[in-house]
């Protein structure tokens, strides 16, 4: 991915956790790769926790360097990366301070990218301050989640930002869309005649999408207790992955063709009747337990969390898509904290053969399935049935691995690296359009409202397990179960 696009990348929240762990490491990897970032490109960090450039560079050396590579750091590349970085200390709540920002970047080259790695409460003030000093023209703005608390607040932010930036300038980032296996899912479906004819209700029995975490809320108790898993993970990551899995073939890979097809999926989601939420939605909250041999506390005792909190840390949903391709196929979504493993994956369960000429062992061995794993190791695995060695026709499940490292010499690109390069180069296909976001909020809102009004607490589950038993029971009603494998 070579580029000659010159740029000035302005990073608001330059000393935040996201900048430290993801954004700056991703920019360094693109810089080190050579040719991905124009030599003239500059990074301007904006923060209040450093007084000048020297102090900020010291912070980068102390906090960012350890996140940039598992195989050590090339000191020459690191030094040349630091040379790209400028720094400015301004108060983001004071529009007059943005005059200083304009003075710093006016002489810098190329397209201007403003990355808002801040709390959502600062999105609109920052955008308005940029406009007040004329920095919104010929620029791109990147917005991190969460973008709002519900449909109304999301629309309020989008309306305000939309008065300052055109939709083509707004990049709503969802890093799951930048992951290599998600890209390969598109290649698998639309680049091969083998899979696409099977990708429909006649051959697919059910689909599971799981994003599971071992971690709890850590130091984010205040934020998380006012957010919950439905807002934090389902409305964005899980529904975006669902739309990628279920979309119709786009006529090309340009930004609007891809996003038009995703939007059609989101609009085809079967509306949930509030009276049926108990049947198709499970919410849970972790209690104390053991993760990898270590005792961990209950959610209600985490710092910043209210002792009587009813915030969900686990969600499982049954989703249906009302269109010709997917009618009658259940999609099961699951996400949670303090679960038994850290894993993100998509499981496509194909229907069993209509008649087994090979005997009962074929039925016991199970049907075919395709597993697209996003983390911790990124793989695509196809499970088939094969004869076991020896006497008789006894079948067992075997798998074929798509091992990227054996086919491609170059390493896989991290999600943030790909997405940041797409912003710099003006590629919108992997970013969320406003109408997609609205459709997602509109679908989850009945669940949000019902849970808010409910007097029933979330179902408890012990940390280190796979969540409430009701989650498994929901799938059992459809004759299936969650795929829970060792990494």
Six token digits for residue 373: 């794993």
One DSSP character per residue, 101-124 reads HHHHHTTS-SEEEEEE-S-GGGHH
Six token digits for residue 198: 């099977």
Residue 80's contacts (CB-CB under 8 Å, 6 or more residues apart) are 31
Query: Taking a C-beta distance cutoff of 8 angstroms, is the pair 218, 337 a contact?
Result: no
Cα–Cα distances in Å, from 421 out to 106, 193, 317? Answer: 22, 30, 34
Answer yes or no: is 175 a known binding residue: yes
CA distance 230 to 333: 11
Q: What percent of the chain has pLDDT over 70?
A: 95
**pLDDT above 70 (res 263):** yes
Q: Which domains does the chain have, with CATH numbers?
A: 7-144 (3.40.50.720), 177-476 (3.30.360.10)
The alpha carbons of the chain give a radius of gyration, in whole angstroms, of: 24
β-bridge mates for residue 42, sequence order: 8
Catalytically active residues, by annotation:
237
Answer yes or no: is 450 a known binding residue: no
Q: Which of 132, 135, 92, 133 is nearest to 116 (CA)?
A: 92
| pLDDT score of 362 | 58
Mean pLDDT of all residues in 215-223: 89
Answer yes or no: is 428 a known binding residue: no
Answer yes or no: is 179 a known binding residue: yes
Q: Is 309 helix (H, G, I), strand (E, B) or coil?
A: coil
CA distance 312 to 283: 6
Answer yes or no: is 342 a known binding residue: no
| pLDDT score of 341 | 95
CA distance 136 to 130: 6
Phi, psi of 204 (to 5 degrees): -105, 125
CA distance 230 to 235: 6
Angle at 314 between CA 309 and CA 317, to 5 degrees: 125
Burial classification of residue 72, based on how many CB atoms lie within 10 Å of its CB (0-12 exposed, 13-18 middle, 19 or more buried): exposed
Query: Taking a C-beta distance cutoff of 8 angstroms, is the pair 160, 189 a contact?
Result: no
Half-sphere exposure of 83 (CA within 13 A, CB side): 10
Angle at 274 between CA 272 and CA 278, to 5 degrees: 90
Query: Taking a C-beta distance cutoff of 8 angstroms, is the pair 206, 326 a contact?
Result: no
pLDDT digits (tens, 9 = 90+) for 456-486: 999 999 999 999 999 999 999 998 999 986 5
Mean pLDDT of all residues in 240-269: 95
Of 164-168, 348-352, 377-381, which gets the smallest average pLDDT? Answer: 377-381
Alpha helices (H) in 41-113, listed in sequence order: 53-63, 75-82, 98-105
Residue labelled with tokens 């259940």? 330
Answer yes or no: is 91 a known binding residue: yes
Question: Model confidence at 71, in pLDDT bands (50, 70, 90)?
Answer: low
Question: Model confidence at 2, in pLDDT bands (50, 70, 90)?
Answer: very low
Answer yes or no: is 213 a known binding residue: yes
**pLDDT above 60 (res 1):** no
Of 32-41, 90-99, 395-404, 439-448, which gets the smallest average pLDDT? Answer: 395-404
Query: Chain-wide mean pLDDT for the chain?
Result: 91
b/e per residue, 452-469, with b = 16+ CB within 10 A? Answer: eeeeeebbebbbbbbbbe
Specify the pTM.
0.92
Residue labelled with tokens 């130091």? 219
Six token digits for residue 319: 């989703």
Residue 464's contacts (CB-CB under 8 Å, 6 or more residues apart) are 289, 290, 291, 296, 338, 339, 340
Answer yes or no: is 94 a known binding residue: no
Q: Which of 220, 215, 214, 216 is nearest to 304 (CA)?
A: 220
């Amino acid at each position: 991915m070579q580029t000659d696009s010159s740029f000035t990348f302005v990073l608001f929240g330059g000393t935040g956790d996201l900048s430290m762990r993801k954004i700056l490491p991703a920019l360094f990897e693109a810089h080190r790769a050579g040719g991905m970032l124009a030599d003239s490109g500059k990074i301007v960090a904006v923060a209040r926790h450093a007084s000048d450039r020297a102090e900020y560079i010291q912070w980068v050396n102390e906090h960012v360097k350890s996140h940039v590579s598992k195989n050590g750091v090339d000191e020459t590349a690191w030094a040349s990366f630091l040379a790209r970085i400028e720094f400015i200390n301004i108060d983001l709540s004071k529009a007059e301070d943005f005059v200083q920002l304009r003075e710093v970047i006016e002489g810098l080259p190329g397209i201007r990218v403003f990355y808002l790695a801040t709390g959502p409460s600062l999105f609109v003030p920052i955008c308005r301050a940029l406009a007040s000093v004329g920095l919104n023209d010929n620029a791109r703005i990147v917005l991190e989640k969460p973008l709002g608390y519900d449909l109304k607040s999301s629309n309020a932010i989008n309306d305000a930002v939309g008065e300052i930036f055109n939709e083509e300038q707004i990049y709503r980032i969802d890093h799951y869309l930048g992951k290599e296996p998600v890209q390969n899912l598109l290649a698998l479906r639309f680049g091969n005649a083998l899979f696409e004819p099977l990708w429909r209700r006649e051959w697919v029995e059910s689909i599971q999408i799981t994003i599971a975490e071992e971690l709890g809320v850590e130091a984010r108790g205040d934020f998380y207790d006012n957010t919950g898993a439905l807002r934090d993970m389902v409305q964005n990551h899980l529904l975006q992955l669902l739309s990628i899995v279920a979309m119709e073939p786009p006529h090309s890979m340009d930004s609007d063709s891809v996003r038009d097809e995703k939007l059609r999926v989101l609009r085809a989601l079967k509306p949930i009747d509030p009276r049926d939420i108990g049947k198709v939605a499970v919410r849970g909250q972790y209690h104390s337990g053991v993760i990898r041999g270590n005792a961990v506390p209950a959610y209600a005792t985490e710092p910043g969390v209210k002792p009587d909190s009813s915030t969900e840390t686990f969600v499982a949903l049954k989703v249906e898509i009302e269109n010709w391709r997917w009618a009658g196929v259940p999609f099961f979504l699951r996400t949670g904290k303090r679960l038994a493993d850290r894993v993100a994956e998509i499981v496509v369960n194909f229907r069993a053969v209509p008649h087994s000429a090979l005997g009962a062992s074929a039925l016991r061995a199970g049907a075919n399935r395709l597993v697209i794993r996003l983390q911790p190791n990124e793989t695509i695995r196809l499970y088939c049935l094969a004869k076991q060695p020896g006497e008789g026709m006894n079948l067992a499940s075997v798998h074929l691995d798509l091992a990227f490292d054996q086919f491609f010499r170059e390493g896989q690109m991290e999600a943030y690296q790909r997405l940041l390069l797409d912003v710099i180069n003006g590629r919108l296909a992997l970013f969320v359009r406003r109408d997609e976001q609205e459709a997602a909020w509109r679908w989850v809102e009945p669940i949000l409202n019902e849970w808010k009004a409910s007097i029933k607490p979330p179902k408890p589950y012990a940390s280190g397990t796979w969540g409430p038993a009701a989650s498994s029971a929901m799938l059992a009603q459809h004759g299936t179960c969650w795929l829970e494998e060792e990494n």
